[in-house]
Amino acid sequence: MSRFRSFVAAAGLVATAGCAEPGAVTGPIAGLPRDLTPSETQLVSRGNDFAFRLFRAVAARSSGDSNLFISPLSVGMALGMAYNGAAGTTQAAMQSVLGFDGMSLSEVNQAYRGVIDLLRGLDPRVDFTLANSIWYRQDYTFQQAFLDTCQAYFDAAVRALDFTSSTAASTINGWVSAQTRGKITSIVSDPIPDGMVMYLINAVYFKGAWVTEFDPSRTAPETFTRSDGSAVSVPMMRYASGAWVRVAGDAAVQVLDLRYGGGAYSMTIVMPRDAAGMDSLLSGLTLERWDAWIAGLDSVRTEVVLPKFKMQYALKMNDVLAGLGMGVAFVGCPAVPDCADFTKIRAERDLFISEVRHKTYVEVNEEGTEAAAATSVGFGATVAPQAIVIDRPFLFAIRERFSGTILFIGRMMDPAAT
């Protein structure tokens, strides 16, 4: 079998918000405790579709030979909270980008709640944490219904904070660091920028051991071929010949699926058969093609060779999300008539999304995989311009604008004098 090069696919929307007691499950996990409801099935499918659209958009704005690693779950969850506060054209834009067309807000929220509850503690041998929080400027008033909804359906911790305090940013970043076991140590700027009034934050942490671990004594430097044909030596891990794995593929790609813990989670790797085929793979990366690969997975006994790697990644997603169709959410009023409408978060129409920041971490070694992500949706408030009061002596001129010719110039020291 050809050696598999590193392309780690994000594994979709479904996730657990906590872990069961150790020892709750000892054998392989055969399935979910119950079937998904129609709304939950829609949420998972649309979340996966969003994952591929988001990944393609991020890749399109990145260097063709750069490593990428995002958590569409984290981004989608943070934006899912924000979606609850959107109205009008802002809500419609977010609905389209997130894939919630045809679903009521109640169905979306119930599906989030149901999937989280259903999968909590599904695999006690995998450490998976999903946490949400809302931090808001304590001297601002926000819609209580929005805060209550995020608590009820997203398990969001809601806290008022003095954003002008020197410890405000470190308080928020400390929460993120704790939820991600220190892998993401900061997500908001320190100090918090002027004009920022709320952060919606999601944090995800995953640590799972391979069902079949790689033998560290067999890890050795081997050749990895880059997309431009050049070669580099990297540590390659090896399974012993005869290990059971699941594979699929077509004329363009090979697909490998390696399971963690009790088998509820896996890493799915898709490698173009041509080293230069990543652009083609990404352009054709759709939910339908992904589902076909997953459906075609079959167990085989074979040797596996996989790079050992560690990566950190960070980006600001404003342009990516605007390009996908939710640009209105980033436009503060009254810049244009069609500006952000988050009146379900704050009655005054002065909120807009100022920034969406995303950070990730992943390490793949002989024992398994550790990964973390955090997403912050920061809301700014439009401040009405202060009146300009000309109440002191001033200079003034009358000019022709296009040529720049000054026609008159004067100084006013006392308007009462004639």
pLDDT tens per residue, range 44-61: 999 999 999 999 999 999
Assigned domain for 294 exists: yes
Confidence (pLDDT) at 223: 92
Average pLDDT, integer, range 318-325: 97
Query: Does 71 reside within a domain?
Result: yes
Q: Are residues 277 and 7 in contact, defined by beta-carbon separation less than 8 angstroms?
A: no
Inside any domain, residue 10: no
166 secondary structure, DSSP code: T
pLDDT digits (tens, 9 = 90+) for 147-156: 999 999 999 9
Q: Are residues 230 and 167 in the same domain?
A: no
Please indicate, yes or no, if residue 412 is contained in any of the structural domains.
Answer: no
Same domain flag for 50 and 162: yes
Q: Is residue 100 part of a domain?
A: yes
Q: Are residues 154 and 302 in the same domain?
A: no
Q: In the chain, what percentage of residues exceed pLDDT 70?
A: 87
Highest mean pLDDT: which range of 159-168, 200-209, 296-305: 159-168
Same domain, 81 and 201: yes
Confidence band for 30, pLDDT divided at 50, 70 and 90 = confident
Out of 64-78, 261-275, 367-381, 382-396, pick the least confident: 382-396
CATH code, domain with 233: 2.30.39.10
How many structural domains are present in the chain? Answer: 2
Identify the domain boundary among 284, 307, 330. Answer: 307
Q: Based on the fold, state whether residues 333 and 357 are members of the same structural domain.
A: yes
d(CA 374, CA 357): 8
The CATH number that applies at residue 367 is 3.30.497.10
Please check whether residues 199 and 223 belong to one and the same domain. Answer: no
> Could you identify the residue written with the tokens 């598999």?
4
Question: Are β-strands 126-137 and 156-161 bridged in parallel, bridged antiparallel, or unpaired?
Answer: parallel
Inside any domain, residue 13? no
Nearest residue to 352 (alpha-carbon basis) of 387, 324, 321, 373: 321
What's the confidence (pLDDT) of residue 17?
A: 38
- In this structure, are 188 and 317 located in the same domain? yes
For residues 221-241, average pLDDT: 89
List, edge to edge, every strand of the sheet that includes 126-137: 156-161, 126-137, 196-209, 368-381, 351-364, 309-316
Question: What are the tokens at 360?
Answer: 């990730």
Q: How far apart are CA 96 and CA 213, in angstroms?
A: 41
Average pLDDT over residues 185-197: 95
* 76 and 154 share one domain: yes
The reply to whether 60 and 132 lie within a common domain is yes
CA distance 106 to 111: 8
pLDDT band at 244 (very low <50, low <70, confident <90, very high): confident
* 268 and 248 in a common domain: yes
Mean pLDDT on 118-122: 73
Last residue of a domain, one of 271, 290, 307: 307
**Confidence at residue 15, expressed as pLDDT on a 0 to 100 scale:** 33
Q: Is residue 29 part of a domain?
A: no
> pLDDT tens digits for 357-371?
999 999 999 999 999
Mean pLDDT in residue range 245-266: 91
DSSP-assigned letter for residue 406? E
In a domain, 391, yes or no: no
Q: Which helix (H) or strand (E) holds 239?
A: none
User: How sure is the predictor about 23, in pLDDT bands with cuts at 50, 70 and 90?
Assistant: very low
399 compared with 241, residue with greater pLDDT = 399
pLDDT value of position 305: 92
Q: Which of 307, 338, 365 is the last residue of a domain?
A: 307
**Residue 402 pLDDT > 80:** no
Half-sphere exposure of 340 (CA within 13 A, CB side): 27
Tell me, yes or no, if the pTM score tops 0.75. yes
CB 61 within 8 A of CB 300: no
- Find the domain containing 264 and state its range: 216-307
**Position 403 confidence tier, pLDDT thresholds 50, 70, 90:** low
State residue 16's pLDDT score. 31
Residue 24 has pLDDT above 60, yes or no: no
Of the two residues 117 and 285, the one the predictor is more confident about is 285
- Residues 299 and 319 occupy one common structural domain: no
Question: Do 88 and 205 have their domain in common?
Answer: yes
Per-residue confidence (pLDDT) for residue 385, from 0 to 100: 60
